[in-house]
Amino acid sequence: MTSTTPLLATEDVTVSYSGKEALHATSLSFERGSVTALIGPSGCGKSTFLRSLNLMNREIPGCRIGGSILYHGKDVNTRGVDTYQLRKQIGMVFQQPNPFRKSIRENIAFAPKRHGLSGKANIDALVEESLRAAALWDEVKDKLDQSAYALSGGQQQRLCIARTLAMHPDVVLMDEPCSALDPIATYSIEETIRDMAKRGICVVIVTHNMEQAARVSDKTAFFLLGDMVEFGPTPELFSRPKDKRLDDYLTGRFG
């Protein structure tokens, strides 16, 4: 019998800063091989929710995450969880590309080597595999020992995706990964997102771009003023919103 347990789920997750609740109780589930878009106006709680999924908000003084975050059915929102190990499996790609001040090769190999990967052949194979997965290999294969800072912004973002994929995560969280990119670079990132999903990775992406959400996501969640207002299949949510606030947002009446 096939298990119906989602890869990642939240049950009544809240996030508070210095006692003030920024995200109200939110329950969502995310499946392997799916792309979920989180949309809503600025300051609505979508990035706060995204960063709770691998407990990154814990690094902020005064922040408290309540509720349950279930990864493979186990609650990871506990004091005893190893966040270093958790973030290997639930990786994060940020809004601005943040490559290491190292070569392209070392950007990919640095973390795997710290986790015990050794042998030139193994490292070279992982570097190629990760760069291919991020649709960057053909552009950089002849300059792997050059600085990552010699790459364009779009290439740097795909390098950061490749660096995340090198750890073979189950889940990749993306916080507006295309906001600083031109349309051609954005298209490349969107193709990479769909390819990740085809390989069974669960992708959760925050975006302000409604067209992007429609293009890349299977499901969409709409956030407003700290509430998760509506969640469902993207085509249905965009064409037949149930909540008037979502309809107002999609038609530009606010937000």
Q: What residues contact 66, with CB distance under 8 A and at least 6 apart?
A: 12, 13, 14, 15, 16, 77
Confidence (pLDDT) at 138: 96
CB proximity list for 113: less than 8 A, separation 6 or greater: 123
Tell me whether strands 20-30 and 202-206 are parallel, antiparallel or unpaired. unpaired
Model confidence pLDDT, tens digit, residues 171-210 = 999 999 999 899 999 999 999 999 999 999 999 999 999 9
Q: What is the pLDDT of residue 38?
A: 98
For 31-54, the pLDDT digits (tens) are 999 999 999 999 999 999 999 999
CA distances from 227 to 36, 41, 172, 231 (A): 17, 12, 23, 11
Q: Which residue has the tokens 């008037």?
A: 244
> pLDDT tens digits for 218-244?
999 999 999 999 999 999 999 999 999
Residue-range domains of the chain with CATH: 8-251 (3.40.50.300)
- Supply φ then ψ for residue 70, to 5 degrees: -100, 115
